[in-house]
Amino acid sequence: MVKHIIVLILLAFPLCIFAQEIPEIIELDSETLSYNAWEELYKQLMLPDTQLGLDNRLWLEDDSFSLHQAYFQHDGQDLFVNYGNDWKKNLSHFNFGIGIRQNKFVEDVALGNYRLHFGSGITIGSGSKSTKGDVFRIQRAPQPDSYSPFGSAIKLHWRDFKALAFGSVLNREITQNIDGEILTLPKTRRGRADITRESLWGGAFSYEAKVFRMGFLGYIQGYDREFASADMDSQTKIFSAYAGVRLNEHSVDWESGQAGKNQHHFLAWNFNHQRFEQTISFAMDPDHKQITYFTSREALGRDPDTVEMAWNASFPLLKDTSMYLRASADQKRQDYISSKGMKSRILARFSYHPKHRNLNLTISHFDKEILTQTGDDLQTSRPQHWRFELDYKDKVLPTLQLILNTRYHLEDKEGWDNNTFYWHSGIRFNKNRFGVRGGFQGWHGAKRGTIYMDDTLLAFSEAKRDDQFIYLGGDLVMKNMKFGIDLRQSLKDSSNQRAILRVGTWL
């Protein structure tokens, strides 16, 4: 059902943790999940008082994959290297970057692969949707099979003023027509022979005080081939302006930009008082085919002709309980506001979290068109309209934890045989430097679906129709090394097996 999105996430970073702070439907948040997962991987590569981290992960199944990473840091200087190999397709991917970060006039320098984030990310972004921190940031590149700028970037800092200059030149795979014109620009490397040369040149300037900050960005995105679409230019000038206000419990972020003849906008107001927080936002995404590196601010679609309004709120209820609510509505720009032409999503989560125990109940409802229009790689039919999820963790002993997760998908206006049910029960034992985990997973339904990879209930995998699994894993942490293994066996298909091996070291 969501095979392409799941493969994109899992093959890029096996065994990593999706550090998602707020609940969301996975199909609508894959870009942010990817960003968070890779930030978590970089953190895992380094321990306090170490300078070099090495990590090797081997994924053995039908689509075998390996990922090798090295990360070195010393006195504000760092070097990362990522190498991935898809054994089935006989494809290898590689990226690297050198960074220099210091509290001087030249604050940040990047060479090699990197990512940029400006303002809300709607004009150029890294996958993060956070507006905290500097107006523009130079960040490490993601998984090696994803495209990111390759070249150099430099950030200058003087008092409350900052400036940025960047450049990038790299070859990208394309799909083309018989005339050699560009049809699409895939975001990941797939081994295609047809390529184009992409170039980015630009800069940014910002003023950042305690209460008020603002910034301006401009860059040129170019290709050495023409596009098949008459609406696309081989050379596109992109501009953006950003402003933000931080005043006690209130914060406001606004960004407006233009790519060619098309405009895009983002406006958000956040209120945070003690444990109550709410955000109201308005977004008009750019055309994802026109801007290569941007972070979508619309959750419900990638259509540049839509406008999205969203409301998020979290607040405490009784002792050790809290509630999270999220609502979004997507409307065509030229249409009058009406329920007929509107796509919507509503999500509610109730949490009970006393000491050593955690219980969450999540209910979501959405229009089926949302998933079918989410991305180029996503292909789905008859998506679920309702989802009910219950997860429970109980640390019954200092070394023993019990896990239960169950999820039911109810499809509106479809037969009951199209509904799906997921069950996951597990146990985890940790003692000093040694840990063991095991459990059972079952997926019952007429279609494929997403299941949790293990008992962390954070990383996702894919289940085939009516499948059941048992899994067993363990970790051993020594002074400067970590060993891990995860095994999974299908009870329905004896040939459906998976083994994940990990060896990491720190020096």
Query: How does residue 440 score in pLDDT terms, banded at 50, 70 and 90?
Result: very high
Higher pLDDT pick, 106 / 142: 106
Query: Pseudo-torsion of CA 294, 297, 303, 309, nearest 10°?
Result: -160
The 10s digit of each residue's pLDDT in 246-266 is 999 999 999 999 998 889 999
* Domains of the chain listed by start with CATH number: 1-50+300-507 (2.40.160)
Dmax (CA) for the chain in angstroms is 67
C-beta of residue 115 within 8 angstroms of C-beta of residue 149: yes
Query: How does residue 23 score in pLDDT terms, banded at 50, 70 and 90?
Result: low
Question: Which DSSP string corresponds to 312-360?
Answer: EEEEE-STTEEEEEEEEEEEETTSPS-STTEEEEEEEEEEE--TTEEEE
Q: Is a pLDDT exceeding 80 seen at residue 293? A: yes
| Rg, C-alpha atoms of the chain | 23
* pLDDT mean over 175-191: 88
> Quick one: tokens of 327?
């609502």
Q: How far is CA 445 from the centre of its chain?
A: 27
The 10s digit of each residue's pLDDT in 356-394 is 899 999 999 887 666 554 444 334 445 558 889 999 999
Question: Given this model, what pLDDT does residue 397 score?
Answer: 93
Question: Given this model, what pLDDT does residue 415 score?
Answer: 66
- The span from the CA of 109 to the CA of 146, in Å, is 22
Query: How does residue 495 score in pLDDT terms, banded at 50, 70 and 90?
Result: confident
- The span from the CA of 272 to the CA of 363, in Å, is 24
Question: Which DSSP string corresponds to 177-213?
Answer: -TTS-EEE--SB----S-EEEEEEEEEEEEEE-SSEE
Element (H, E) at 62: none
- The span from the CA of 277 to the CA of 22, in Å, is 12
* pLDDT mean over 201-220: 97
Query: How does residue 136 score in pLDDT terms, banded at 50, 70 and 90?
Result: very high
* pLDDT mean over 204-216: 97
Q: Is a pLDDT exceeding 70 seen at residue 202? A: yes
The 10s digit of each residue's pLDDT in 305-319 is 788 999 999 999 988
Q: Quick count: other Cβ atoms within 10 Å of Cβ 157?
A: 18
Closest listed residue to residue 448, CA positions, set 483, 420, 487: 420
C-beta of residue 395 within 8 angstroms of C-beta of residue 401: yes
* pLDDT mean over 170-174: 93
**Highest mean pLDDT pick, 241-245, 330-334, 460-464:** 241-245
* pLDDT mean over 453-481: 78
Question: Given this model, what pLDDT does residue 460 score?
Answer: 63
Question: Which DSSP string corresponds to 101-167?
Answer: E-SSSEEEEEEEE-EEEETTSSSS--S-----S-SEEEE----TTB---EEEEEEEEETTEEEEEEE
- The span from the CA of 314 to the CA of 274, in Å, is 11
Question: Given this model, what pLDDT does residue 237 score?
Answer: 95
Question: Given this model, what pLDDT does residue 454 score?
Answer: 59
Q: Quick count: other Cβ atoms within 10 Å of Cβ 338?
A: 9
**Which one-letter amino acid corresponds to residue 75?**
D
- The span from the CA of 124 to the CA of 136, in Å, is 10
**CB within 8 Å of 220: residues ≥ 6 apart:** 199, 200, 201, 202, 235, 236, 237, 238
Please tell me the least confidently modeled range out of 86-100, 270-284, 352-366, 368-382: 368-382
Question: Given this model, what pLDDT does residue 453 score?
Answer: 63
